Amino acid sequence: MRNGRQFLIFDADDTLWENNIYFERAFEDFVEFLAHSTLSAAAVRAVLDEIELANARSQGYGSLSFGRNLRECYRRLAEREILDGDLDRVMSFATRILEAPLVLIEGVRETLDELVLRHDLTLFTKGQPEEQTFKINRSGLGVYFGHTAVVAEKNADAYRRLVEERGLDPARTWMIGNSPKSDINPALEAGLNAVYIPHAHTWVLEKTGLRPAGPGRLLVLERFADLSEVF
């Protein structure tokens, strides 16, 4: 792979920079504010997971969608009278996520410095376009990518459209990310290759078993910096 130019497609959240840790902290604040008399944090999380799964298609992803899901969870579980101020407080747990520092994953900038000299790099992320663009700009990584796309959902059809629009050769195209659900499995289903780099705090709804499909190859790397040894 180092002997020929490849098309490398990168996920953003929890692949290039830390993301879900801030959602987890917001959830911890929510549980403390809810102060349910019998439900554990895990039980509250199960209710929120159900709400997020049901609303993902209509509301999408990102901090504002997360805040709306937290408010729905609060309405469902609160053991006291619900006041407007309470719902504003719940929403604030989510809006504060955008104020959190943007921390790059270890080795990301140094590795991109090398890869951009040898390969064609694309950034492919899902979520609210304004929020994702805000994070890309804060990261300072946009200069590495010849093309950036923000989509509502990363499924096999989305990868096929990207390949067609950009004129990519599937045999030389690799999707690199931390999510089996959004990065790895749909890319393989679309006939691409994939590189899975696990993250300790991947969102639970993005976790699923790796399902190699199609002619593409699947690599599993321990660290982002390992990419420079492969490509």
What pLDDT does residue 2 have? 61
Decide if 95 contacts 68 (C-beta within 8 A). no
Decide if 208 contacts 231 (C-beta within 8 A). no
What pLDDT does residue 215 have? 83
Topology (CATH) of 7-18+103-230: Rossmann fold (3.40.50)
63-105 tens-digit pLDDT: 999 999 999 999 999 999 999 899 999 999 999 998 999 999 9
What pLDDT does residue 196 have? 96
Decide if 176 contacts 8 (C-beta within 8 A). yes
What pLDDT does residue 146 have? 95
Backbone angles phi, psi at 125, to 5 degrees: -135, 160
Distance separating alpha carbons of residues 93 and 88, to the nearest angstrom: 9
What pLDDT does residue 3 have? 66
What pLDDT does residue 1 have? 61
What pLDDT does residue 210 have? 83
Q: Name the residue ranges covered by the structural domains of the chain.
A: 7-18+103-230, 20-99
User: In Å, what is the CA distance from 93 to each residue of 27, 37, 59, 105, 203?
Assistant: 8, 21, 18, 24, 17
Given CATH 1.20.120, say whether it is the number of domain 20-99: no
Ranges under pLDDT 70 in the chain: 1-3
Taking the whole predicted model, whether its pTM rises above 0.85 is answered as yes
Judged on CB neighbours under 10 Å (0-12, 13-18, 19+), 192 is: buried
What pLDDT does residue 206 have? 83
